Amino acid sequence: MKQDQVFDLICSLVDGDKQKIDIGFNRMISELGNTNGAYRLQRIYDSYKNNTGKLIELPQALKPFVCETYKEVSMDNLLLNDTIIEFLENIRKEWSYRKELREQGLTNSNRVLLVGPPGNGKTSFAIALAGYLGITPYIAITNELIDSHLGESEKNVINLIQNIPSQGLLFLDEFDTLGTSRTDDTASSGRAYNNIVNSLLMSLDRLPEDVVFVAATNRDDLLDSAVHRRFDVVLSFPDPTIEQKEMYVEKYMKRKAIQLPFDKEKIEQCTSYSDLEHEAVRLHKQCILSGLL
């Protein structure tokens, strides 16, 4: 990347020249290609656009807890059931009316729990939801939030949830590792867990209306009932039915504009969308490698 481009972009940001800022960001992002740097810059640019001209980066102290890179997912590429489609329409509407709702003492639905067995789109959906609402996704590294030092984990949780830049979506995967039921255990490990859960409850109660909080778990039965109650919506991502599996296969071939020799029995044996994706990719590669495409 040329130094001139960096200086030009900084100057246009200082001048507030919107047209030059757009050109500068787009040029540098395309020049960085498929790299981590390009993803980071894209996120800064998205955050700039979403905050109508303010450059908002994640506070330095939160960076260790948030993934720098993630695979972009579009909602169009996911097979979703009617309940989820209805939820999407609703959350977008409430999001755009959030100020009016607040004026009437109401809040928009912005705490969403995704549950279901592995490989059926919880993570993909969370990332796609940010794109759908036109806001920046912040994907937490859940393990990093847990600190062996007493009191640090709950501080991390509170800091992260309360400091996500506005018009952002915070995604916490493997949420059961944080929000498991509180115990009567008076041993220090039990007490530490209870403190994390209490911090979660407090942070979720204070979530600003222009931040969306999405959590995912395979084990919602383990979640503390008070934590569970804090969510406005619980969306289920079950294993696909036979019809849905067939639809997935059709959609894959349509998207790639190819015909693949799927074996019906193999499709039925796939449990999740993730299994189906593996099978589709395997066949797709086989066709390329055998010169059929």
Ligand X SMILES: Nc1ncnc2c1ncn2[C@@H]1O[C@H](COP(=O)(O)OP(=O)(O)OP(=O)(O)O)[C@@H](O)[C@H]1O
Tell the smallest beta-carbon distance from residue 127 to ligand X (Å).
8
Is residue 119 a contact residue for ligand X (CB under 6 A)?
A: yes
Applying CB under 6 A, what is the total number of residues that bind ligand X?
15
Helices 36-50 and 18-32 cross at an angle (nearest 10°) of: 160
Which residues of this protein are in contact with Mg ion, per CB under 5 A? 122-123
Contact pattern from residue 137 through residue 176 relative to ligand X, giving x for each residue in contact according to CB under 6 A and a dash for the rest: ----------------------------------------
Is residue 8 a contact residue for ligand X (CB under 6 A)?
A: no
Tell the smallest beta-carbon distance from residue 62 to ligand X (Å).
22
Nearer to ligand X, 154 or 279 (CB): 279
Q: Which stretch binds ligand X (CB under 6 A): 13-21, 49-57, 120-128, 131-139?
A: 120-128
Contacts 24+ apart (CB under 8 A), 220-227: 220/113, 220/115, 220/176, 222/176, 222/180, 222/181, 223/175, 223/176, 223/179, 223/180, 223/181, 224/179, 224/180, 224/181, 224/182, 224/197, 225/181, 226/197, 226/201, 227/179, 227/197, 227/200, 227/201
| Binding-site member from 53, 59, 64, 118 for ligand X (CB under 6 A) | 118
What is the greatest pairwise CA distance in the chain?
A: 65
Tell the smallest beta-carbon distance from residue 191 to ligand X (Å).
29
Quick one: what does residue 64 bind among Mg ion, ligand X, none, with the CB cut-off 5 to 8 Å set by partner type? Answer: none
**Residues 262-291 contacting ligand X, CB under 6 A:** 273-274, 277
**Residues 172-231 contacting ligand X, CB under 6 A:** 218
**Residues 238-267 contacting ligand X, CB under 6 A:** 248
Separation between Cα atoms, residue 292 and residue 208, nearest integer Å: 53
Residue 141 phi, psi dihedral angles, 5° rounding:
-95, 95
CA-wise closest residue to 59 among 142, 153, 161? 161
| Binding-site member from 13, 44, 78, 253 for ligand X (CB under 6 A) | 78
* Amino acid type, 278: H
Nearer to ligand X, 71 or 149 (CB): 71
| Binding-site member from 12, 124, 142, 203 for ligand X (CB under 6 A) | 124
Quick one: what does residue 110 bind among Mg ion, ligand X, none, with the CB cut-off 5 to 8 Å set by partner type? Answer: none
Q: Which residues bind ligand X (CB under 6 A)?
A: 78-79, 118-124, 218, 237, 248, 273-274, 277
